[in-house]
Structure 1
Amino acid sequence: MTGSMTSAGPLRLYGRSAERERVAALSDRLGPRQGGALLLAAEPGLGRTALLDRAAGDFTAGPVLRPRVAPAESGLPYSGVHALLCAAAGRTDTAPASVLRAGLAPAGLLELLPVIACGGPLLVCIDDAHLWDAPSRTALGFAARRTGSLPGIGLLLSVDGARAGDPDFSGLPVVRLGPLDDRAATALLDGLTGGEAAPAVRDQLLHAAEGNPALLAALVEGLSPDRLRGHRPLPRPLVDGGALSRAFGARLAPLPADTRLLLLLACAAHEADPEGAGADADHVLRAARAAGLDAAVLDPAEAAGVARCDGERVAFGSALLRRAVYAAAPPPRRRAAHALLASVVDGGRHPLRRLFHLALAAEGPDSGLAAALTDAATASGSRMSDVRRSAALALAAGLTARTGARVSRLTAAAEYALLGGRPHQVRELLSTTRDAAVHDAVRGRAELVRGTLALRDGAVGDAYETLMMAAVRLGPYDPQRALAAGLAAMEAAWAAGDAGACLAALDGTAAHAPGAGRVTAAPGAAAAQAQDYRSGLRTALGGRPGEAREALRRVLDRARSDDDPTRLLRAGVAALVLGDTGAACHANARALAVSRARGLASLAPQVLEHLAYAELRAGQHARAGAHAQEGLRAAHRAGQRNVVAHQHAILAMVASVEGGAAAVAAHARQALQIAGPHGLAQAATLAEWASARADLCHGRVREAAARLGPLTGAGPHRGHFAIRMLAVPCFVEAAVSSGLRAQARAAVEEYTGWVAQGTDAQASAQLARCRALLAAPEDTDALYAVALARHEATDGAFERARTQLLYGKWLRRQRRPGEAKNRLRDALVGFERCGALPWAEQTRAELRATGEAPAPARTGSLAALTPQQLRIARRVAEGATNREVALSLSVSPRTVDHHLRNVFALLGVRSRTELSRLVDRAEQHGAE
């Protein structure tokens, strides 16, 4: 039995801000009238001990007790209470024997703690409280539930995640620790490696550790400096039995041998069904009976929180625990487990499951089994998921002796893993094919997969070259894939802002287009759509948008009855080139519906990106923001950082309308952090434009002009060729206000030619507004009238309000306050209706300058909130938790927490109760 009183300094923690706040709140309220208790619950390796250590180091109001029970004594009755007494040695005159006698009753510990505290604050930190002996756990839980009657005393307990619901701990407030988020895990990795891990190595380590700090530390510990720096390849598998044993061995070692065997059978069963929520219990138990095991041998694993059987599935406490059990068994033992499972599975009902187990039990190449797995994975009409197809093909490759056939199957496995949204699995599969001598058709397929992966998560310049090479290799053998490679290369060049490379890619696809050569690229309408899309874009990018209209319109017409998401995305692009934002939104929304219905995990992030951008172009900022937030989460899940950058750029643009400068800066910064190294000119241009528009909103016209001048110019190192003209109206406004009228006139001259092409519905009204800003006073009224009349023909409420605001400003400077007030009032209403509250505040300032006192957005009024903040405030006022709000709005709990903090600050409230009262009053009096 051991114990200590500690005053250690603060320990470095990564992330865990919300959890630390809960722990700090417990410490802060320990005083003369109040005590408290808190239960920290987490799976092994997630850092509950570190959080407990940090809490102990941060507590300065009084002593901290850290009782520890030796494992050999944890079964002795009242060993836990005795360890607590030892930790408090010197703080009480009560004899241990008398304390233990008192502890025979549940209230014994409750009586002991005030004696130890000696009238002052006391924090008791108990790690692994679930491992205390049963009588001590009962006494501990009894005391913890009654800490309200123990002024100044706090109990901070940590337990295994599976034991938080034990009766001994029922009724206690629980803080559950999940895996570290990407930012915290990256910071931890940099701390462990001194920041010397190569980017590719960092990505693989973070993915393999799954946010588990202990496993991440174990992985780093097992790597040499050369491997960390990327000078030598990482071991395969990266997460081996040694790393998992270091992280989880203490949890598994005490289990009986029979229990570990049954757990191995459950792990092996899960390997054949990797997407299932656990292993089929009937299958596992039949195999266990064949091995002479009784189902009761699982009881120790359930008691330890390692695994649990609900009658249908055997599920592990965490995926890492399952991997630890499987990796701990030597290969012959794993093969024997799969052979046993194969012997009891019904091959008639579950043919693929039996094939999986036979493959995993094989000791060497088996051409017949490999062929059977390949046929099952590639069967048309099968309902097998892409992830399972990939796993089957990877197993088939492992059983294939011939190099060409093996690489072909590995490449096919990578193709399906890409479709299933498993980028790290794709990289691992392709890494084994790079140096093999294979046919160009196979090499081209691998390069198409590699290039597509880089297009979503890598340098788009590299993606372009890889995809162009794939198109050349595939051309003579697989025209359909060659065409796909060429169009993907065009997409990479588009993201990079390289119009010349776009044209080269489109020219290259002509050789693979339908009817080119002796083999057609694709049958029927699909082939015609690809040809029209290619030729229409080629003509438009070549400077002849009028000639491109007929072909692009045919692409749109076919999309009305299409259900292929890739072709629908092309239709959305065609619509934007035509300037038909409504059609673009419709095509992309249809693509999203199809992607959701089919569970296309890898395509959904791009679809959401295209939809959010189309809605942004259509002036539907709230919708664009909602879809961009959803797309951001989908892109993070799929490991598509380039899409993450584009979604942040879109959110920055939305925030430049609806949010404050801080939100714009945050999203723009995150977009540029990826856009810079990956060469994403489109995302970078949007992010810079959003920052400039925020500058304009807050009166920083010189800063806005400085940002927008290079952005709207032509040539290299300028704005994206498809976006720069869209930003010209903002530049003209900033330049005129900054006295740069010559630069503004030059921009308007180029803008005039672009507007004539009809590629943006709002551009004609904005052109008239730009001319009004530069016109002589006698012409200004007429030009603003033209602009407002043209706005009436579009759905751009925000741009119309901006025109009203600029017109009102000009009228006020012309000493026409009555007319100015009318225009400014219209602008104020327009901004408020579309949620552009920062712009509404600027309009109020202009109204005040005319001598009018508009109703302000009062502190404490719901009018101060953005639409999203208002939705969250209302749901919270109805009694919903942050998690319930997140589910209802399809956002993350962290996003809800962030918005709720801002709501509290804006409204001047300090609790959910105050917020509820304020919302009720506002709703009753129409204060919104």
Structure 2
Amino acid sequence: MSGQGAEQRLRGRAPECQVLHSLIADVRSGDGSRVLVLRGEAGVGKTALLDEVHAQATGFRVVAVSGVESDMELAFAGLQQLCAPLMNHLEELPEPQREALNVAFGRGIGDTPDRFLVGLAGLSLLAAAADEQPLLCIVDDAQWLDQVTQQTLGFIARRLLAEPVALVFAVREHPEVLAGLPELAVEGLSDTDARELLDSVMVGAIDPRVRDRIVAETRGIPLAILEVPRSVSATELAGGFWISGKRSSSAAVEHGFVRRIQALPAPTRQLLLLAAAEPIGDAALFMRAAAHLGVPVDELTPAEDDGLIEFGPRMRFHHPLIRSAAYRAAELGDRRAAHRALADATDPQADPDRRAWHAANAAVGPDDSVADELERSAARAQTRGGIAAAATFLERATALTADPARRVSRALAAAQAKRDVAASDAAHELLAVAELGRPSDFQRAVITRLRAQMSFVRSRAGEPGAPQLADTATPLLDAARQLDGVDDYSSRESFLEAIAALMYAGRLAEPDALTLAADAARAALRDVTELPRPVDYLLRGIAERIAGGVHEGAAGMRTALQAMCDQAETDESAVGRWLKVPGFPIMQETCAHELWDEVSLFKLSSAAVRHARAAGALAGLPRALVYRAGVHLVSGEFASAAQLLEEADSITAATGHLSPVRYHALLLAAWRGDAAEAGRLLDGAAADGVARGEGRLLGLTGYAAAILYNGLGRYQEAFTAASTACEYEDFGIYGWCAFELVEAATRTGDGETAAHALDMLAERAGASGTDWGLGALANARAMMADDDAAEALFTEAIERLGRTRIVVHLARTRLLYGEWLRRVNRRTDARSQLTEANEMFTRIGAQAFAERARRELVATGEKVRKQQAGTNSDLTAQEAQIARLAADGLTNQEIGAQLFISTHTVEWHLRKVFVKLGITSRRQLRTVSWAS
């Protein structure tokens, strides 16, 4: 259809039609995918615009789904409807994705799939279908799709890139639904267009003053205008009577539909209510239910004649507001009767979940048998990965449970499910319901812990109105004490969560809060002789270290890390459990840092990423990626660290979660040495830390600033930053802060501070027994040693660090050694060390340190040109990551599965990689230098 034709059919929508036409044209031309969200109030014309984009999509395969207003939540129901016509491509998907989709759609039995693995499967299915011809996916009334379908389609929309797919949504004014995707606001018609539309539907003349009043009060909403001839009497129109203020909203339009429905015969109204109560529009089910009510289906004819409903293979209301009007206008007893008829007409074997839901809505009071059915439906939903649906079933089961004890347990189960889908308000309401019963001591502890966990997660994510991090620790400790002796596993995890919360709170918590929490944990473990899990050893070790001082806890932490490394090799599912415990990753990483244990860091971070990718555990993958990015950072693999951090941010955005400050992103910026960019990030992070009470972030920014300024040779600023960082012992980074303070203090002539910092470092790194810790300590001692002792210490540091993968510290040692050699006038030896340092810093991208090494080389008489840091190509982070995986021999399908993108997108990126690197084959990727 031409633009002019569309304008004639869609009066006043030329700009919107142009956007839609361009969207289809872009996809048709092979310019990748396009996503658009049409957002506007009910009746504004979104569905008409979807019809227009459908009409434009000649040569496209079109699939569509429309949400229906209902309080029934069936997991993946909307996604299944959208994908149903494409299931002939299912065999083209990798096996894990195929199995996940089969389980989610109830077509197979298997492990509960991660919802984002289902999302990747959906993405792959769309991409496979688009191989044959361009694909248009239309999603109307997205706000009424089941929650997991909303989330999954949002994920797919954010991961589409190179596929010839157009994905167009229509959604009412629900800002949280599909937030962040490209939008087109659909508003009321202009006054001129609204007048013309009104004139076109009026049979007779209309008073001009009435016409202008109608246009003003309908605000140009097309549905409101089109309903005027049906909902306003001829007397009102001809005589100039117009009831002010009743036509300006969707509620007013719905009221007009109610008036039309109330004018119908009683049997017709019964059938309209029956159709409104059944959201899937199954005509066969409708007829069976009508028979249960004893109302002939022919009684629906007056409603069809009035243009309210269409009776075909699917029952279709002509507008969603008609459905809501038919349902809300009915008496409560009539609604229950309709749901009872639908429950009786639904096959309990083929569709037990819908039957249970209708039975629940038919109940006049508590009904344990219906509640039991709902609980079984919840279990089925959880098996399919539909936690939101399970939460809804359990919530309703709670309301229908007569037995007080079972009501408490169901309320707790519902609250946990609501918590898991980030519906914290509903979770808190359910916890209040549980408290109103007679919860056991154990259940009270669970209630306390759930509330505290939600607060902790909200605080870490920086949600508006979230409590300060330190405030989340007290209830976690209360829960840990209450669970002690009742559920020791949960008790120890709660102690660990409380300590993690206080570690994050750091210097912004009460001075002795962390020590008191550690004392409480030690007391709970005092009489325990056998600890069954690595996490228990971790708790004992970290509690002993905090409460007992720097010389305590090492044995427990080492035992825990070794056990975790062993378990990661034999039981990958254990890694998944670790990632689910709030605060656990930081505890694991902190212990490895505290012990200067690079082996555990490498093994455990690799296992975390490997598990998250293999299992499709996208919710935990960002944490695993950031964990691994820190290992790449200290290994001098800045490009790899940047790739993982970027991937973590893109996945967090795609999943719709808030992203906490990435600690390693700050350190990466500091090591790269761009003062302006790093300064901006550090200032923002410090302000963010103060805002949510995350004192650890203040310590981290001080440490990162010290790295930045030591690299730039701005030693006084480095001294200030490192001194601030060392004012509080942030476990896992304090030893590193002390190292920076030793260098800054020696350069500013503050020997006393340098000596104190060296003592702090010696107590920690000196007791580590690792080449990393002892190498860093030897380097720090060399900075303060006299000339007779310095060389031996520098040599020891280089030997020890050379046996590790900690490249950044080895390069720092060579730089410091070279600077000392130049100061003692051994220029030839100095050039050797400084040249090596300069090349290492340049290769990894540490620009400030590289420039510092270059200046020292010039001072030795060497002529050295400034070099460009990092790689010799302009690959983006994702291009470099894809190139690396392709060079390792992975297929495009395997790369897509790892990175949660489609095969199309992998191919698209690889074509760009080949052009940028001047190569023509994957084999050549192994022979060119393109990333550090």
TM-score, normalised on structure 2? 0.59
Q: Aligned to 1:542, what secondary structure does the other structure show?
A: helix
1:700 maps to what in 2? 714
2:417 maps to what in 1? 416
1:795 Cα offset (Å): 0.9
- Cα deviation digits, residues 702-728 of structure 1 (max 9, x gap): 222211112123xxxx35243222122
2:745 maps to 1:735 = yes
1:71 maps to what in 2? none
- Cα deviation digits, residues 226-259 of structure 1 (max 9, x gap): xxxxxxxxxxxxxxxx9xx958998999999999
Of 877, 880, 894, which aligns to 1:868?
877
1:920 maps to what in 2? 918
**Is the CA contact (8 Å cut-off) linking 1:338 and 1:360 kept in structure 2?**
yes
CA distance in 1: counterparts of 2:24 and 2:257, whole angstroms: 25
CA distance in 1: counterparts of 2:441 and 2:780, whole angstroms: 55
1:652 maps to what in 2? 666
CA distance in 1: counterparts of 2:350 and 2:440, whole angstroms: 38
Letter in 1 for 2:696: Q
CA distance in 1: counterparts of 2:628 and 2:503, whole angstroms: 17
Structure 2 CA distance for partners of 1:468 and 1:379, relative to 1, 3 Å: farther
CA distance in 2: counterparts of 1:693 and 1:822, whole angstroms: 24
- Cα deviation digits, residues 404-426 of structure 1 (max 9, x gap): 64343222212133345554553
CA distance in 2: counterparts of 1:515 and 1:315, whole angstroms: 67
1:653 Cα offset (Å): 1.0
2:65 maps to what in 1? none
Of 726, 751, 775, which aligns to 2:785?
775
CA distance in 2: counterparts of 1:287 and 1:762, whole angstroms: 72
2:724 maps to 1:710 = yes
**Is the CA contact (8 Å cut-off) linking 1:268 and 1:326 kept in structure 2?**
no
2:684 maps to 1:684 = no
2:597 maps to what in 1? 580
1:531 Cα offset (Å): 4.3
Of 803, 817, 831, which aligns to 1:793?
803
Q: Aligned to 1:364, what secondary structure does the other structure show?
A: coil
**Is the CA contact (8 Å cut-off) linking 1:827 and 1:843 kept in structure 2?**
yes
Structure 2 CA distance for partners of 1:664 and 1:262, relative to 1, 3 Å: farther
- Cα deviation digits, residues 318-356 of structure 1 (max 9, x gap): xxx999976994285876775565445432244344323
Of 495, 505, 524, which aligns to 1:496?
505
Higher relative contact order (CA 8 A, sep 6+): 2
Q: Which consecutive residues of structure 1, in runs of 5 or more, have no partner in the other structure?
A: 1-37, 40-66, 68-73, 85-124, 147-157, 181-203, 219-241, 271-278, 301-305, 517-523, 879-883, 901-911
- Cα deviation digits, residues 379-424 of structure 1 (max 9, x gap): 9995664444322211111213566643432222121333455545
1:508 maps to what in 2? 520
Which residues of 2 match residues 485-634 of structure 1 at below 5 A? 485-497=494-506, 500-509=512-521, 527=532, 529-543=534-548, 548-559=553-564, 560-561=566-567, 562=571, 563-564=573-574, 565-567=576-578, 574-594=591-611, 603-613=620-630, 616=633, 621-633=638-650
Letter in 1 for 2:17: A
1:754 maps to what in 2? 764
- Cα deviation digits, residues 99-147 of structure 1 (max 9, x gap): xxxxxxxxxxxxxxxxxxxxxxxxxx93443999xxxx99x999xx99x
**Is the CA contact (8 Å cut-off) linking 2:640 and 2:881 kept in structure 1?**
no
Which residues of 2 match residues 797-812 of structure 1 at below 5 A? 797-812=807-822
1:758 Cα offset (Å): 0.5
2:235 maps to 1:347 = no
Q: Aligned to 1:863, what secondary structure does the other structure show?
A: coil
1:801 Cα offset (Å): 1.3
Letter in 1 for 2:490: R
Which residues of 2 match residues 48-63 of structure 1 at below 5 A? none
**Is the CA contact (8 Å cut-off) linking 1:648 and 1:670 kept in structure 2?**
no
**Is the CA contact (8 Å cut-off) linking 2:629 and 2:664 kept in structure 1?**
yes
**Is the CA contact (8 Å cut-off) linking 2:371 and 2:397 kept in structure 1?**
yes
Structure 2 CA distance for partners of 1:377 and 1:927, relative to 1, 3 Å: closer
Structure 2 CA distance for partners of 1:261 and 1:510, relative to 1, 3 Å: farther
1:3 maps to what in 2? none
Q: Aligned to 1:391, what secondary structure does the other structure show?
A: helix
Structure 2 CA distance for partners of 1:774 and 1:265, relative to 1, 3 Å: farther
Q: Aligned to 1:346, what secondary structure does the other structure show?
A: coil
Identical aligned residues as a percent: 24
- Cα deviation digits, residues 643-681 of structure 1 (max 9, x gap): x33x52221112223473454345434543442232222
CA distance in 1: counterparts of 2:379 and 2:866, whole angstroms: 65
Q: Which moved more, 1:371-380 or 1:739-748?
A: 371-380
Question: RMSD value over aligned CA atoms?
Answer: 6.1
2:50 maps to what in 1? 162
Which residues of 2 match residues 195-274 of structure 1 at below 5 A? 207=176, 210=179
2:834 maps to what in 1? 824
Q: Aligned to 2:918, what secondary structure does the other structure show?
A: helix
- Cα deviation digits, residues 836-892 of structure 1 (max 9, x gap): 345434434444444444454469x963868838728989xx9xxxxx999799499
**Is the CA contact (8 Å cut-off) linking 2:596 and 2:773 kept in structure 1?**
no
2:108 maps to what in 1? none
CA distance in 2: counterparts of 1:464 and 1:327, whole angstroms: 48
CA distance in 2: counterparts of 1:532 and 1:739, whole angstroms: 43
CA distance in 2: counterparts of 1:491 and 1:175, whole angstroms: 47
Q: Aligned to 1:762, what secondary structure does the other structure show?
A: helix
Structure 2 CA distance for partners of 1:850 and 1:206, relative to 1, 3 Å: farther
CA distance in 1: counterparts of 2:405 and 2:272, whole angstroms: 37
Letter in 2 for 1:449: L
CA distance in 2: counterparts of 1:215 and 1:324, whole angstroms: 24
TM-score, normalised on structure 1? 0.60
1:582 Cα offset (Å): 2.1
1:621 Cα offset (Å): 4.8
CA distance in 2: counterparts of 1:211 and 1:78, whole angstroms: 32
2:491 maps to 1:482 = yes
CA distance in 2: counterparts of 1:872 and 1:380, whole angstroms: 36
**Is the CA contact (8 Å cut-off) linking 2:798 and 2:813 kept in structure 1?**
yes
Structure 2 CA distance for partners of 1:471 and 1:589, relative to 1, 3 Å: same
1:315 Cα offset (Å): 13
Q: Which consecutive residues of structure 2, in runs of 5 or more, have no partner in the other structure?
A: 30-44, 61-133, 144-172, 189-244, 291-295, 460-467, 888-892
- Cα deviation digits, residues 743-793 of structure 1 (max 9, x gap): 222211222222222087523222222233333345433332222122112
**Is the CA contact (8 Å cut-off) linking 2:391 and 2:414 kept in structure 1?**
yes
